[in-house]
């Protein structure tokens, strides 16, 4: 259980969200060093690339590689931007919030290093609207950093300038999709853009843009300070480093834990989160946020890293584990998720607009005891019609993957719902005698 932690290392100190508290723990040293030594942007990108840091927003794309997609400034003189995706709204995910609330300067330092590496003129931090404290803390941090000459014009007396601005989301899940986020930042409806063109060539206001997750950026100063070799000592070969694992659902100690990539999910569940709630049995678990689907208890020993989770037919996603105990219903949980995706689909693509609604309707019928055996195949066909890669963005995939997972891993439960007359009958059978707490 004991392993090196760094993401949470500063948080023991209460005032780390202030510049004073942050600098007292060695904050902004990595950025200042780069600036004073004049490390070339290519070298900075190279270090991040070499560290093997993979994006923490869900897709697990190598961060350094993403940075290197930005066009060469000697050939393309357009203004460049970065958008930090802090619109954390994947159900089950609550990790970026901790970083922004407790250690906002850590994120800002990462932003400034990224700005140097990519020659950015501006950084937009798109904060989920409900994250009021995150917004307030980041706002204060930006003001402090600007006053200290760490953000804005001629940073630390150099020629280098970069602005940081914040934007508050208005509660749409789809604005967490990188191109939906850019549309939203531009003041339009958060309708994802078809790709190509990709953001690195045509992003915010048509300029080269990189979109990174908060946690990805937060890792950067540590890598620059301690080196990519140090980073690679943690985690697995293909997924180095630590990640923030938000554990929720039927566990004794729900919360956000800093965990080395590759740690088995059972270890996270039992040793960090205190096991399944009240010692009950595990019925199902979701490895990385709602769109990664339901897995069976038999695979709870799967190491939590991108490739291992993929091998069991799911995705690492945002690393947000949701645990369902023996009394819970996968069909009911799937219905809740489908209602979420139906509500959050932007409605551009035919398959997603109609498909998310249809999935929710079929799950609702099965849940209500009006399911038919052929509905199980229908669910498969609907999900196959929506994904993979059949729509502009991955929201349709996000609804199709859990659907497939229910059919693949919990077909018995679907059959039980159809045969026994829906949720009322099934949940009655599963309910445990009342306990006095």
Partner 1 sequence: MIDSEKQPEIKRVEITVNGKTVQARTDKPLIHACLQAESEVPHYCYHPGLTPVGSCRICQVEVQQGKMPARVMVACRTPVAAGMVVDTESKGAHDSRKECLEFLLKNHPLDCPICDKAGECTLQDYSFAEGQGEGRSVEPRRKLEKRKDLGDVIMLDQERCILCSRCVRFMEEVPETPQLCVAGRGSHSIIETWNNQPLSGNYQGNLADVCPVGALTLKSFRFKARVWNLTKTASSCGECSRGCSTTVEVLRAGEIVRIRPRHDEEVNKWWMCDTGRFALDHFAEVDRLVGACMPSATRGWDQSPVEDGLQVAADMLMAAEKPLIVASPWLTVEEGTELLTLGRQLNGRVAFVSPAQNELADDLLHTGDPAPNRRGLTDLGFEALSPEEILSAASEHSSILCIGERVASLLGEDGFNSLPSATRVLLFDCALPAPQEGGNSPIDLAIGLATSAERAGHWVNIDGIRRPILQARPAPTGVWNTVRLLQNLLGLLATREIQS
The binding site for partner 1 (CB under 8 A) comprises 172, 189, 194, 196, 342-358, 361-362, 365, 378, 381, 384-385, 390-392
Residues for the chain: how many in total?
Answer: 437
Q: How far apart are CA 23 and CA 295, in angstroms?
A: 43
Least distance in angstroms from the C-beta of 287 to partner 1: 26
Q: Which is nearer to partner 1, 218 or 358 (CB)?
A: 358
Q: Which is nearer to partner 1, 154 or 384 (CB)?
A: 384
Q: Which is nearer to partner 1, 273 or 346 (CB)?
A: 346
Least distance in angstroms from the C-beta of 347 to partner 1: 4
Q: Which is nearer to partner 1, 232 or 390 (CB)?
A: 390
Q: What's the Cα-to-Cα distance from 249 to each of 111, 121, 182, 413, rounded to whole Å?
A: 33, 42, 32, 20
Q: Which is nearer to partner 1, 153 or 377 (CB)?
A: 377
Q: Which is nearer to partner 1, 32 or 365 (CB)?
A: 365
Q: What's the Cα-to-Cα distance from 60 to each of 53, 139, 184, 215, 431, rounded to whole Å?
A: 9, 28, 23, 12, 38
The sign of the torsion formed by the CA atoms of 314, 316, 322, 325 equals: positive
Q: How far apart are CA 80 and CA 302, in angstroms?
A: 40
Alpha carbon 30 to its chain centroid, in Å, reads 25
Least distance in angstroms from the C-beta of 174 to partner 1: 8
Q: Which is nearer to partner 1, 288 or 355 (CB)?
A: 355
Least distance in angstroms from the C-beta of 7 to partner 1: 35
> Partners of 122 in the beta sheet?
81, 163
Least distance in angstroms from the C-beta of 183 to partner 1: 12
Least distance in angstroms from the C-beta of 190 to partner 1: 9
Least distance in angstroms from the C-beta of 210 to partner 1: 22
Least distance in angstroms from the C-beta of 359 to partner 1: 11
Q: Which is nearer to partner 1, 227 or 347 (CB)?
A: 347
Q: Which three-class secondary structure state does DSSP give residue 304?
A: coil
Of 246, 257, 208, nearest to 1 (Cα)?
Answer: 257
Q: In what order do the strands lie in the sheet with 163-168?
A: 163-168, 122-127, 81-86, 209-213
């Amino acid at each position: 259980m004991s392993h090196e932690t760094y993401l949470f290392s500063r948080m023991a100190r209460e005032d780390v969200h202030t510049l004073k508290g942050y600098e007292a723990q060695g904050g902004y040293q990595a950025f200042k060093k780069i600036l004073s030594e004049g490390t070339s942007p290519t070298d900075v990108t190279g270090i991040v690339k070499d560290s093997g840091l993979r994006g923490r927003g869900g897709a697990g794309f190598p961060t350094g590689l993403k940075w290197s997609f930005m066009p060469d400034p000697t050939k393309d003189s357009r203004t460049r931007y970065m958008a930090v995706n802090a619109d954390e709204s994947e159900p089950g995910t609550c990790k970026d919030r901790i970083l922004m609330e407790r250690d906002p300067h850590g994120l800002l330092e990462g932003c400034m290093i990224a700005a140097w590496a990519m020659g950015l003129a501006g950084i937009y931090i798109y904060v989920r609207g409900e994250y009021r404290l995150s917004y307030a803390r980041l706002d204060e941090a930006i003001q402090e950093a600007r006053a200290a000459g760490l953000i804005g014009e001629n940073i630390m007396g150099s020629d280098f300038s970069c602005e940081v601005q914040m934007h508050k989301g208005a509660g749409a899940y789809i604005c967490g999709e990188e191109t939906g986020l850019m549309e939203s930042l531009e003041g339009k409806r958060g309708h994802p853009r078809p790709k190509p063109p990709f953001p690195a060539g045509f992003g915010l206001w048509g300029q080269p843009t990189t979109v990174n997750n908060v946690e990805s950026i937060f890792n950067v100063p540590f890598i620059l300070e301690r080196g990519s070799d140090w980073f690679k000592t943690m985690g697995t070969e293909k997924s180095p480093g630590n990640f923030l694992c938000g554990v929720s659902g039927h566990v004794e100690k729900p919360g956000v834990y800093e965990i080395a990539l590759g740690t088995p999910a059972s270890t996270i569940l039992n040793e960090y989160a205190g096991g399944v709630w009240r010692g009950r049995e595990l019925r199902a678990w979701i490895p990385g946020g709602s769109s990664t689907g339901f897995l069976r208890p038999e695979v709870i020993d799967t190491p939590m890293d991108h490739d291992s989770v993929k091998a069991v037919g799911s995705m690492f996603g945002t690393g947000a584990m949701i645990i369902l105990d023996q009394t819970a219903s996968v069909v009911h949980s799937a219905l809740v998720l489908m209602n979420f995706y139906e509500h959050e689909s932007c409605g551009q693509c035919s398959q997603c607009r109609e498909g998310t609604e249809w999935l929710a309707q079929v799950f609702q019928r099965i849940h209500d005891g009006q399911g038919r055996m052929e509905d199980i195949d229908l669910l498969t066909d609907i999900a196959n019609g929506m994904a993979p890669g059949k729509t502009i963005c991955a929201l349709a995939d996000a609804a199709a993957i859990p659907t497939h997972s229910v059919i693949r891993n919990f077909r018995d439960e679907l059959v039980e719902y159809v045969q026994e007359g829906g949720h009322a009958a099934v949940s009655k059978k599963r309910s445990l005698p009342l306990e006095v707490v």
